Amino acid sequence: MNHDRIGKHILLIGLMGTGKTTVGRILAEELKRPLTDTDEAVERMAKQSIPTLFREEGEAGFRNRETRVLRDVLQYSPRIVTTGGGIVLREENRRLMAQAGWVAALEASAEELYQRLQGDQSRPLLQGDLRRRIVHLKRERESLYDFADVKLDTTGESPQETASRIILQWRRLSRG
Ligand SMILES: Nc1ncnc2c1ncn2[C@@H]1O[C@H](COP(=O)(O)OP(=O)(O)O)[C@@H](O)[C@H]1O
Ligand SMILES: O=C(O)C1=C[C@@H](OP(=O)(O)O)[C@@H](O)[C@H](O)C1
Ligand SMILES: [Mg+2]
């Protein structure tokens, strides 16, 4: 493990519904660190919701904004950074994150993701047959999360349990 990373950001990556945003809020509170969710930052800067951005600028427009926000946030003081599931699609983003801190990838079974995301209207890339979309995205993207320093399967866990496990791993590393 590269100990240069310990004093830097803690980043959460993973497919939609793995719990990045929810777990990140708990981490920020418990570790007393500032929090940035890249999706929320994009929405704030654009003054538009993600579904509206996808409709008006397409996925490409959203991805450009996402990279800009990521670059900016990594310049700030060490914080918790929670990301959108597709941030790993760009090699540039993966490189930026790997250099900027300690990266934890959250995972969950397809069935669990289905249960968590049922009825969700805020994620444009999940519209249509939800089960098929999840299976497709899992297959297409799974290997892009491999650069993470740790992977945590959150299936059957509560957000609090996942956050506690992350903190445990983080503290173990901090002690060297
Ligand atoms: N172990 C868990 N960790 C995180 N979220 C969970 C967990 N179990 C259930 N959830 C629920 O899953 C949903 C999606 O979580 P969210 O944080 O928005 O995911 P992401 O940001 O990765 O897309 C939320 O309703 C959250 O409460
Ligand atoms: O996986 C993706 O491509 C996306 C994930 C979403 O974030 P969450 O992973 O927080 O749901 C959001 O960035 C956008 O809808 C696109
Ligand atoms: Mg999120």
CA dist., res. 152 & res. 131, Å (int)? 22
Return the pLDDT at 173: 80
Domain segments of the chain as ranges: 9-167
pLDDT digits (tens, 9 = 90+) for 37-53: 999 999 999 999 999 99
Identify the residue whose C-alpha is closest to ligand 2 atom 6. 84
**Buried/exposed 8-38: b ≥16 CB within 10 Å, e otherwise:** bbbbbbbbbbbbbbbbbbbbbeebebebbbb
Q: According to the annotation, is 63 in a ligand binding site?
A: yes
- Report the candidate in 82, 98, 79 with the shortest Cα–Cα distance to residue 90: 98
Ligand 2 neighbour 20 (Cβ under 6 A): yes
- Ligand nearest, relative to CA of residue 88: 2
Q: According to the annotation, is 17 in a ligand binding site?
A: yes
What is the ipTM score, two decimals? 0.97
Q: Which fold has domain 9-167?
A: Rossmann fold (3.40.50)
Identify the residue whose C-alpha is closest to ligand 2 atom 11. 16
CA pseudo-torsion sign 65, 74, 6, 40: negative
Ligand 2 neighbour 84 (Cβ under 6 A): yes
Return the pLDDT at 172: 87
| pTM attached to this predicted model | 0.96
pLDDT digits (tens, 9 = 90+) for 82-123: 999 999 999 999 999 999 999 999 999 999 999 999 999 999
